[in-house]
Structures are given as C-alpha cells and as structure tokens.
Amino acid sequence: MSRNENEKRENESGRARRRWLLPGAILLCIAAVAVYLVARRPESATGRMAARPVPTVAATTDSSPAVAASPGGKADLTISPEMADRAGLRYAFVETRSLAEQLRTTGSIQPNAYRETRVTPLVGGRLTRVNVQLGDFVRQGQILAMIFSSDLAEAQMKFLTVDANLQFHISQDKRFERLVEIGAVSRQEQEEVRARLREHHAEHAALRERMKLYGLTEAEIDRLQTASDVRSEVPVHSPSSGVITTRNANPGQVAMTTDALFSVTDLSSVWVIASFYEKDFATLRTGAGVTITTPAAPSRGFRGTIAYIDPRVDPQTRTAQVRIETLNPNQSLKLGMFVDVALDLGGARLVPAVPKSAVQAMGEERIVFVKIAPGSFQIRRVEIGGEIGEWAEALRGLTAGEEVVTEGSFFLRAEMGRSLK
C-alpha cells in the first residue's frame, strides 16, 4: 500500500471521530444539568409530604370507612388556626357524670294495633275509582274509593216500591178512619188496614237502614223519589283519621265484602316490641318507664311505658316479648325501624361522658375528634353506652378531661376525606 493511501485513510478516520465528538459533548452537558437540578430540589417539600399524618382506614361491610386512631397521641389531622376559626369549631371536655343503672335491649317499631283499622267494603262490586295512595293521611269520613254495585241499585229500586206501597197504605188508613166515623166500615176492617200499614212501615225502615249501610246518607235517601234518582256507586269511607299503611285496591278490581281494601293507622302512638332474657324478668313490670333511642336520631330520646309482658318464653332464645307504648310526634319513629331500649333500674354510677353532638357515625362505628393541640386533632373510635340527657356514656375510647369537638366536626370529616385522596 502506498504512502498516499495511508494518509488518505487516516484523514477519513479523523473526520469520522470529529463528527461523533460534538453530539457526545452535548449529551454530557444535558446529563450534568439534570444531575444539578435533582441535587438542588427542595428537601423541605418532600419532607412535608412524607411526614404528613394519614389515619388508617379499612373497609367495612357497608363500604363505609372505619377509622383507627393513631397510637401514641399523634395527630391524625392538622389544620391552620385561621381555618379552625372559619370552621366555627367548638369544644367540650369529657366529664365524669352520674349514670343510672339500666337494662338495655333492642326492639322494633310496630303499629299500635288498637289504632289500626282495616277498611272493607259494605257491598261487593267493581272498583271504579281509588282516591288515595300508600302513606297518604286521611280524615275520618273521607272517601277512599268508589264501588259500582248492582246490589245497591236493586235495593234502591225496592225501596221506591216499598215507599210507594207505604204511602198508599197511609192514605188508606186515613180513608178507613173517616169511613169508621160514618159507620161505612167496621172497626175490624180498620184494624186489618192498620196492621198492613205497620208491616209496610217496618219494611220501609229496614230498607232505609240497609241503604245507610251501603253508604247513603239520610239526605240522599230522602232525595230518592224516582228511578232517575237511583245511584249505582257506593263510596268507601275512612272509618278513622290516620295514614294509609296498606292498599289492596285498584280500579277495575272486583271486591267482596270480606276483602280488606285499606288499612288506616293512627301513627301518633306506636308500639315497640322488645325481647328480654328470662334472667331479667324480675326487673320487669307493667307501667315501668323506658327510654327509646334510634340510630336515625341518636341525640333524641323517646319515653315509653311497658304495657304488656308476654307470659310465654321462646324455647329457642329464652326470651319473652315486651310491648312498650310511646308517643310518636311528627311520625319520627317509622314502622319496622330498629331501636335501642333502656329500662332504668334505680341505681347510679360515675362514668366518663361525652356530649352527643361530638359523636359522629362512620358506617357502623362511632368516632369523635379529640383536640390534642391547637389545630391538631386525633380521630378516636369510641363505644357509646347509656344516655344522660344530652350526654352519653363513653364505654371505650375516651377518658375524663380530654377535649373533643362538638361543633364543626363535619368540616373536619371533609378535611379528613381530602387528606385520604
């Protein structure tokens, strides 16, 4: 190989190295800048993110979060003092209070059977109109439905015939009375006429009462003079004031006199059916007062009275049913609702108590927000026992002297939800 060719090849390899040198240098510069930026990243921001406390959350059977308190008094939630002021947070201390000894159980709301009326038609026929729906409040005498009845039409036509016969015999009696005075007829003939008149009076009165049973009023019967006045529809009236709790009536349906078309229930008073174990029978007596609470309104209590104790014991559960009567203002207690029943036993004991307004429901659990520092709160799972007015016994989770949030806890719940996202 000649010298010229060697020099030519060396020149070409040098040019190739120079072509790759520039892109490599650029890449090295970019990498150096990236390393510098990462090294200069603010550590305080990452520190705050890593140190932010988040309460432990687990799913419950009803898909609601269950909150577990952080151990060691650490804050589960922290907000600024300005935010706390805007939220209008109010606080109270857990106190030691005297609680009456109680016997507790559960029960369910049932209608007062003495104030529940089943509505049956007075005559069989076809329903032409239904005027009420389930849950409607009705007053005594209100028309619930209308029934087309051929029996009513036949009774009215028969009444017109009997009424005409009665008027004829009344006129005949008056005529025979004048004939007796002039000696044209005998007293015996007059008595026979009057006997037939009394029979027609009795038949007329019986038909009149029958049409009253069909729902016609005295005024409507008095207006019945000709066949054009005959009506074939019978109104179904409400026998009492109350709420429609059952409806088995639809237009076009054929109803019999034994069919219960509606149930009208006065819900101003209801029954609580509760079960007590046989070991507690010695403390039960009719007339004893009880306190009734419901998860739907945990801060409100209803007073009731034991009205009946079933003398039979269930052989499986070893319990007996107790019927408790209670007033139901504004129909706050709904039929079928589960309630808690507490029977006062007379004794008293000192217990830690928390205001009911501080207790929040999360699924099947109860929580409170415990203030551990200004703007710092711990989410505490608690178990609630007996009630003392607007306070409740804290069976577990709180001790006397701790400060809890009583107003504004819904705001803290919202903040807690945002912290979990």
Secondary structure of residue 231 in the 3-state scheme: coil
Helix locations, 281-396, DSSP H: none
Q: 0.85 exceeded by the pTM?
A: no
Backbone dihedral angles phi then psi of residue 363, each to the nearest 5 degrees: 70, -125
Which residues, listed in sequence order, are joined to residue 137 by a DSSP beta bridge?
243
Tokens found for residue 229: 């006045």
Strand ordering across the sheet containing 254-255: 233-237, 143-148, 125-130, 254-255
Q: pLDDT per residue over 230-259, tens digit each? A: 778 888 989 999 999 999 999 999 999 899
CA-to-CA dists, residue 360 to 89, 354, 357, 409, 419, angstroms:
15, 12, 8, 8, 18
Q: pLDDT per residue over 142-191, tens digit each? A: 999 999 988 888 888 888 888 888 888 788 878 877 777 777 777 787 77
The H-or-E segment that residue 233 falls in is strand 233-237
Which residues, listed in sequence order, are joined to residue 405 by a DSSP beta bridge?
91
Residue whose entry in the numeric block shows the structure tokens 């016997």 = 103
Q: Check if the beta carbon of residue 408 is closer than 8 Å to that of residue 90.
A: yes
If you average pLDDT over every residue of the chain, what do you get? 79
How are the residues of the chain apportioned to helix, strand and coil, as percentages rounded to the nearest 5? 35, 35, 25
Q: Check if the beta carbon of residue 372 is closer than 8 Å to that of residue 53.
A: no
The H-or-E segment that residue 23 falls in is helix 3-39
Q: Which of 15, 268, 248, 21 is nearest to 127 (CA)?
A: 248
The torsion region of residue 249 among left (phi > 0), alpha (psi -120 to 50) and beta comes to: beta
Distance CA 270, CA 109 (A): 7
Strand ordering across the sheet containing 262-265: 116-119, 262-265, 242-247, 137-138
Q: pLDDT per residue over 69-110, tens digit each? A: 444 467 788 888 778 778 888 899 998 887 777 788 999 999
**Tens-digit pLDDT string for the chain (421 aa):** 455 555 555 555 555 555 555 555 566 666 655 545 545 544 433 333 333 333 443 333 333 333 334 444 677 888 887 787 788 888 999 988 877 777 889 999 999 999 999 999 988 889 999 999 999 999 999 999 999 988 888 888 888 888 888 888 788 878 877 777 777 777 787 778 788 888 888 888 888 888 887 777 788 888 888 877 777 888 898 999 999 999 999 999 999 989 999 999 999 999 999 999 988 888 899 999 898 988 777 667 899 999 999 999 999 999 999 999 999 988 889 999 999 898 877 767 788 889 888 888 887 788 999 998 888 888 899 988 777 767 888 888 898 899 999 888 778 877 776 665 5
The H-or-E segment that residue 171 falls in is helix 150-182
